[in-house]
Structure 1
Amino acid sequence: MTIKNFYELGQEKIIGETEFFILIYDGFPVSPGHILIVSKEIRKDYFDLTLDEKKDLDNAILSAKRIIEKSFAPNGYNIGMNCGESAGQTVFHFHCHLIPRYNGDMKDPRGGVRHCIEGKGAY
């Protein structure tokens, strides 16, 4: 999906934006408030972002966090980017997930993103 496709969804889908990114609620949220931060220019992944875009990404993440906290009260967050097919990327237009986490949403959340490779997260 390209940024044109996001805009074609209608402005009502865009819940925020920064200089280089738009914010939308994830169409398949893994938790209440899950937001996608999508580059306005087509970039394959994080490593293809310009230096200015990388600097603005922090603004976009903080903006998304403020939006989430207007309606929800998460106890933590996961920030995720899939870079490359082997890492699970299926949409080759940069997007970052800001996933609110809530006490009790998993039996044992210890290790967080370390569990992206089955059986390797325990320490």
Structure 2
Amino acid sequence: ASFFDLAPAEIAACMELLAQERMALDCEFNPDGYNIGVNVSKAAGQSIFHVHIHFIPRYAGDSPRPQGGVRQVIPG
């Protein structure tokens, strides 16, 4: 299944979960920003073939060039 296979109510539930997690992470770790992403199909980089959302807290200076979002988060 992919993100595009989700029903509208399932997408809404995912967005609510992201909002809840953001509040928790903001309180505990106070990140400067977030990357949120979904890979759909092998061509797009999906390697685990079930629906999941990448939610990555970011901090100023954690990457020398944050342009491009998640492409630069994990070295190598």
Q: Pairwise CA RMSD of aligned residues?
A: 1.6
Q: Which runs of 5+ in 2 are unaligned?
A: none
Query: Does residue 91 of the first structure (1) align with residue 48 of the second (2)?
Result: yes
Kindly report structure 1 stretches of 4+ aligned residues shifted beyond 6 Å.
none
Report 1:1-123 matches (<5 A): 44-112=1-69, 115=71
| Structure with max Cα Rg | 1
Amino acid in the other structure paired with 2:24: I
Q: With structure 1 as the length reference, what TM-score do the two structures score?
A: 0.53
More strand by percentage: 1
Deviations 1:81-118 (A, max 9, x none): 111111111111111011000000011212425x58xx
Higher RCO (CA-CA < 8 Å; seq separation 6+): 2
Task: Name the CA distance, whole Å, in 2 between partners of 1:51 and 1:66.
Answer: 23
Task: Name the CA distance, whole Å, in 2 between partners of 1:104 and 1:80.
Answer: 20
Q: With structure 2 as the length reference, what TM-score do the two structures score?
A: 0.83
Distance 1:110 1:68, change over 3 A: same
State how many pairs are aligned.
Answer: 72
More helix by percentage: 2
